[in-house]
Amino acid sequence: MTRKPALDPVAVKQAIVEYCLKKGALVAGVADLAAVERIAPAGHRPSDLMPRVKSVISIGVGGSTQAAWRVPAKALGYFGSTESRAYKIVYGLAFFIEQKFGVQAVYCPPDMDPELGARYPLQSLKLHAELAGIGARSLAGDILLHPDYGYMYFASCFTELELPADKPLAENPCPAPSCVSMFRQEGRTPCMKFCPAQCLSGDIDANGKQAAMHYDMAACAELTQQFETVPQLLRDAIATDDPEEREELLLGQRNKVLWYKMTVGNGGLFAQCFECMRVCPIATAAPLADPLKRGAVRRAAAAQKTKDDGDAS
Ligand code: SF4
Ligand code: SF4
């Protein structure tokens, strides 16, 4: 039997990161598997999905364009759709790894655990991304923020390849200095103040660091996770003896939009309301947070290169 040549973990990781960036990820990293296994609850560890897993790869794709933060609230709720781009990248990555390196890899489903209901994911993509060093927990319900890219969507891929792990971010960009000032004056940061469900609260210590974060997930979910509304609405429509009320529940203007969202795909049913991120200076104004900013940096780098090439010739 011919032995497979040993793979160089550093070179393999480099090829994986390059693949992800080429496909549209802004960042990619590898989480410390032992740490993920220790922190994730039983049943939700990478080894529960892939018993011989050796590495957890996490990627982040950009959130909204700069202009998207200025659309009305009723439109902003539809803007979660870049998350599917992240899933597509890691789906392709699993094929890339098996084909190029001959080692098993699997796309990590971002979905809910069917045995536990709609609020328990199979795996915590957030934990993977945090430990891979591509986002840090914010005061806005632990939404991960990146100091350069702001607000992103995350996806994970598991593999039996052994890859060098990255470290969590050394500095958490949240709270931003302007949020600390606001908190000192009125006891709330922008995300806490403008959350329409008032489900965020917390504390900032004397050094301007997070001291406590409280997130009422149920209150947030009631407003934003509309897939939970559909069965309740059906239950009420079945229970009522009043035909007019049934008509209103099933076909009234407010609820009819739920059927529309079901036909266009699940993204519309579980987008966030995004108001906490709309007012977040990291999400909206980090140095590379949106295509306007990223484009300006790339154009400046290209112009500098052209100048340097000209000077050298
Ligand atoms: S998504 Fe909306 S309801 Fe949920 S925490 Fe953010 S602002 Fe509040
Ligand atoms: S607005 Fe953003 S940076 Fe400020 S406290 Fe909230 S999540 Fe953190």
267 confidence band (pLDDT: 50, 70, 90): low
Q: What distance in angstroms lies between residue 224's CA and the mean position of ligand 1's atoms?
A: 7
81 confidence band (pLDDT: 50, 70, 90): low
Q: Note the pLDDT of residue 254.
A: 80
268 confidence band (pLDDT: 50, 70, 90): low
Q: Note the pLDDT of residue 266.
A: 61
Q: Note the pLDDT of residue 258.
A: 83
Is the CB–ligand 2 distance for residue 289 below 6 Å? no
207 versus 254: which is more confidently predicted?
207
Is the CB–ligand 2 distance for residue 280 below 6 Å? yes
Range with lowest mean pLDDT among 2-6, 49-53, 221-225, 307-311: 2-6
- The length of the chain in residues reads 313
Is the pLDDT assigned to residue 82 strictly greater than 80? Answer: no
Name the closest-CA residue to atom 2, ligand 1: 273
Q: Note the pLDDT of residue 256.
A: 84
Ligand nearest to the CA of residue 224, numbered in listed order: 1
Q: Which residues line ligand 1 (CB under 6 A)?
A: 140-141, 195-197, 199-200, 220, 223-224, 272-273, 275-276
Q: What is the CA radius of gyration of the chain?
A: 22
Q: What would the pLDDT profile of 90-101 be if each residue is shown by its tens digit?
A: 999 999 999 999
Is the pLDDT assigned to residue 270 strictly greater than 70? Answer: no
Is the pLDDT assigned to residue 145 strictly greater than 70? Answer: yes
Q: Which atom of ligand 2 is nearest to 176's Cα?
A: 3
Reference 158, options 85, 55, 33; nearest CA is: 55
Q: Note the pLDDT of residue 84.
A: 86
CA trace torsion 112, 146, 23, 59 (10° rounding):
-40
Is the pLDDT assigned to residue 1 strictly greater than 60? Answer: no
Q: What distance in angstroms lies between residue 140's CA and the mean position of ligand 2's atoms?
A: 6
Contact in structure between 158 and 55 (CB atoms under 8 Å):
yes
Q: Which atom of ligand 1 is nearest to 215's Cα?
A: 5
Name the closest-CA residue to atom 2, ligand 2: 280
Q: What distance in angstroms lies between residue 191's CA and the mean position of ligand 2's atoms?
A: 6
Bridge partners, residue 59, by sequence: 28, 155
CA distances, 61 to each of 22, 58, 117 (Å): 12, 10, 27
Name the closest-CA residue to atom 5, ligand 2: 175
Question: What is the DSSP code (8-state) at residue 124?
Answer: -
80 confidence band (pLDDT: 50, 70, 90): low
Is the CB–ligand 2 distance for residue 191 below 6 Å? yes
Q: Note the pLDDT of residue 74.
A: 84
Q: What distance in angstroms lies between residue 194's CA and the mean position of ligand 2's atoms?
A: 11
271 confidence band (pLDDT: 50, 70, 90): low
Is the pLDDT assigned to residue 243 strictly greater than 70? Answer: yes
Q: What distance in angstroms lies between residue 85's CA and the mean position of ligand 1's atoms?
A: 22
Q: Note the pLDDT of residue 261.
A: 80
3 confidence band (pLDDT: 50, 70, 90): low
Q: Which atom of ligand 1 is nearest to 274's Cα?
A: 1
Is the CB–ligand 2 distance for residue 190 below 6 Å? yes
Q: Which atom of ligand 2 is nearest to 183's Cα?
A: 5
Is the pLDDT assigned to residue 155 strictly greater than 70? Answer: yes
Is the CB–ligand 2 distance for residue 172 below 6 Å? no
Is the CB–ligand 2 distance for residue 150 below 6 Å? no
Average pLDDT, the chain: 92
Spatial distance between the Cα atoms of 87 and 59, rounded to a whole number of angstroms: 9
177 versus 310: which is more confidently predicted?
177
